[in-house]
Chain A
Amino acid sequence: MALSPADVLSGIKEIVEEVAGIPAASIELDKNFTDDLEVDSLSMVEVVVACEERFGVKIPDEKVTELATVGDAVNFIVNAAA
C-alpha cells in the first residue's frame, strides 16, 4: 500500500518522540538522527523496529546506516512500501 511522505514523517515524529523524548515539533526532514536529534545507536534500533511495525516495511540492518536524516528514512519507507 502506498504511503504518503507526510504520513510517514508524522509517524516518525511520534516514534522518535516516544523512544528518544525529542519533541515532535523539532523533528524535520533535514535533521540528522545522530548529530541533530541525539538519537544514540541503541535508540536508533528501537526507532527502526517501531517503523517496521508501524509502516509494514523491512529495513535491513545494512540500510540503517544509510538513513542519516529523517528525510532519508521517509524516502526509504515510502519507496519500500510502494
Chain B
Amino acid sequence: MSERRVVVTGLGATTPLGGDVETTWKALLAGQSGVRLLTEDWRELLPVHFAARVAIEPADQMERVEMRRLDRSEQFALVASREAWKDAGSPDDIDKERLGVVIASGIGGVITLLDQFVNLNEKGARGVSPHTVPMLMPNGPAANVGLELKAKAGVHTPVSACASGAEAIGYAYEMIKNNRADIIVTGGVEAAVHQLPMAGFAAMKALSTRNDAPQRASRPYDVDRDGFVLGEGGGVLVLEEYESAKARGAKIYCEVGGQGLTSDGYHIAAPDPDGEGVQRAIKFALQASGLSTKDIVHLNAHATSTPAGDVAEANALRKALGADADHVAVSATKSMTGHLLGGAGAIESVFIVKALQERLAPPTINIENLDPAVTIDVVRDTPRQLPAGDIAALNDSFGFGGHNVVLAFKSL
C-alpha cells in the first residue's frame, strides 16, 4: 500500500471574532479585536476586568434542552463541529468504524465543576446535577461530537494545556496516517472565562492587566506587553485520507504534512529561554512533512503576549529557520482572538488553512513598538500576500508543562 496522505476537507469555528469561520476570518483580516470588558460583578474580585468571549453565544446556535446537558466547552465543540462537518459536505454515509473524533480542551468543564460545587454547598448532594460528571470531564467535548456523528474508530482527548488543540490535530493526523481511520473530526475548545481560572492565571502574573484599554491588551512582540488575554471558543477541522477524499469528490483545502512533538524538561510554566525543545519540534515537523525551511512562507505563532514567552519563541524560530526566517510571514493572531488555551492551536490551524487557501497571512495588531529582541518577520496591522505556487506553513503551540507541538500544512 502506498503512503497514506492526510488532507483538510472541512473547517468550523466559534471565536471571539465570529460564530463561524468566514466571519472570524474576515474580522481577522480586518485586524479587529475580540476582547471586551467583562460585565459580570465578579470581575471586581480580579486584577483583570476583560476577556475575549465568543462573538455568538451557543444559545443562539443550539436548542435549549441540548444546552442544559452540556458544559460550555462541549457546546463550543458541537457548534464548531457541525459547521466543519457541513463544510466537508456532510459525508454521513461513510463507514462509522473509519470515523474518529479527536477534540481537546486544556482545562475541561471547569465552569460546570465550580457551578455544581456551589449547588452542593447551597442545596446539598441532591442539588448536584446528574449531568455533572459528563459535563466536567475533559473528554466531554470529543465524546459529545463522537456521539452525534456515531464515530466508532476512536474518540480521543489529548491534554497538554495550551498545546492541547494542536496536539489533537496531530493525533488525528497520526490516526489517519496509521490507517486507524479515514476521516477524523478534530480540534480544540476552551470555556474558562470564570473568576476562578482567571484568578489562577492572574496569580501567576500571566494575564494582562491593561484594564483601561482591553482591546490593546493582547500585544504580542510589543515592548510593553504585560501578559495574555483569556479567550474562549474553539476550532474544528475535518481531516481525511487523501484518496478517499478525492473518491467522494470532497473539496480539499490543503494537506497536513506532519507534526513535531517535544517536551522541554525545564519548568512547569516558564519557557526554556533557549527554546531548544521548540527548535527540535520544528525540525521533526519538517522532516515528517518532507519539507525544508525554504518551503515555509507563513507561521502562526504561539505568541501569547507574555514578556518571557514571546521572545523565547521568536529566538527559537530564528534559530530553527535560520536565514529562511526572512521569508516567513509570522502572524500572532492572539492579538485579536485572545488566548483560547486548549482551543488556541485549533483555531490557529483553521487560520493557517484559510491563509494557504486565500494566500493571505493575517495581521498582528497592537504592536506599537516592536521588541528589539524579536528578529523574525512579523506581519503587522494589515494582511500580507503569500506567494503563488507550492507553499507550506507551520503552527506552533506550547503548553504549561513544557509541551511543544508543531504542525506543518502544505498547499495542494
Chain A residues with Cβ below 8 Å from B358 are none
List of A residues within 8 angstroms of B68 by Cβ: 19
Q: Could you tell me if A21 and B129 are in contact, using CB atoms closer than 8 angstroms?
A: no
The B-contacting residues of A in range 3-59, CB under 8 angstroms, are 19-21, 41-43, 45-46, 49, 52
Q: Which of B125-154 contact A (CB under 8 A)?
A: 126-127, 129-131, 134
Interface residues of B in 30-89 (CB under 8 A from A): 63-66, 68-69
A37 to chain B, nearest CB (A): 13
Can you give 5 contacting A-B residue pairs, CB < 8 Å? Answer: A19-B65, A21-B64, A21-B65, A41-B130, A45-B130
Whole-angstrom distance from the CB of A44 to the nearest CB of chain B? 8
Question: Which residues of the other chain, B, contact A20 by a CB distance below 8 angstroms?
Answer: 65
**What size tier do the contact residues of chain A reach?**
10 to 19
Chain A facing B: main interface SS: helix
CB–CB B63/A46 < 8 A:
no
- Residues facing A in B101-138 (CB within 8 A) are 126-127, 129-131, 134
Instruction: Report how far A31 CA is from B350 CA in the complex, Å.
Output: 47
Look across to chain B and name the residue whose beta carbon is closest to the beta carbon of A20. B65
Residue among B64, B66, B68 with the highest chain A CB neighbour number at 10 A: B68
Q: A42 and B131: CB pair below 8 A?
A: yes
Give chain B residues whose Cβ lies under 8 Å from the Cβ of A49. Answer: 126-127
| Interchain CA distance A20-B68 in the complex, whole Å | 9
CA distance A19 to B65 in the complex (A): 7
Main secondary structure of the interface of B (DSSP, over half): helix
Are the C-beta atoms of A46 and B130 separated by less than 8 Å?
A: yes
Q: Among the listed A41, A46, A52, which residue makes an inter-chain contact with B129, where contact means beta carbons less than 8 Å apart?
A: A46
Expressed in whole angstroms, the minimum distance between the Cβ of A75 and any Cβ of chain B is 22
- The smallest C-beta distance from B377 to any residue of chain A, in angstroms, reads 52
Q: How far is the CA of A52 from the CA of B124 in the complex (A)?
A: 14
Q: Give the shortest distance, in Å, between B130 (CB) and chain A (any CB).
A: 4
Number of residues on chain B facing chain A (CB within 8 A): 12
Give CA–CA (A20, B130) in the complex, Å.
Answer: 13
Which chain B residue has the least Cβ–Cβ distance from A22? B65
The distance in angstroms between the C-alpha atoms of A46 and B134, with both chains bound, is 14
Contact pattern, B 334-376, Cβ under 8 Å of A = 1, otherwise 0? 0000000000000000000000000000000000000000000
B335 to chain A, nearest CB (A): 40
Name B131's closest neighbour in chain A (CB-CB): A42
Chain B residue contacts of A42, Cβ below 8 A: 69, 130-131, 134
Closest residue to B63 on the A side, CB-wise?
A21
A49 to B131, CA, bound (A): 13
- Interface 0/1 of B145-182, CB less than 8 Å to A: 00000000000000000000000000000000000000
User: Which A residues lie within 8 Å of B134 (CB)?
Assistant: 42
Residues of B near A46 (CB, < 8 A) are 129-131
A48 vs chain B, min Cβ distance (A): 9
Closest A residue to B127 by beta carbon equals A49
Using Cβ atoms and an 8 Å threshold, which residues of chain B touch A19? 65, 68
Cα A39 to Cα B164 in complex, Å, equals 34
Q: Which residues of A contact B64 (CB under 8 A)?
A: 21
Give 9 A-B pairs besides A42-B134, A46-B129 with Cβ atoms closer than 8 angstroms.
A19-B68, A20-B65, A21-B65, A21-B66, A41-B130, A43-B69, A45-B130, A46-B131, A52-B126
Name the distance in Å between A80's Cβ and chain B's nearest Cβ: 16
Smallest beta-carbon distance A47→chain B, Å: 10
Nearest chain B CB to A60 CB, angstrom units:
12
Residues of B within 8 A of A45 (CB): 130
- Rounded to whole Å, the gap between the CB of A13 and the closest CB of chain B is 15
Listed residue (B126, B130, B131) with the most chain A CB atoms within 10 angstroms of its CB: B130
A56, chain B: closest CB distance, angstroms: 14
Q: Which residues from A are CB-within-8-Å of B131?
A: 42, 46
Q: Bound state CA distance, A79 and B127, in angstroms? A: 24
CA distance A46 to B66 in the complex (A): 14
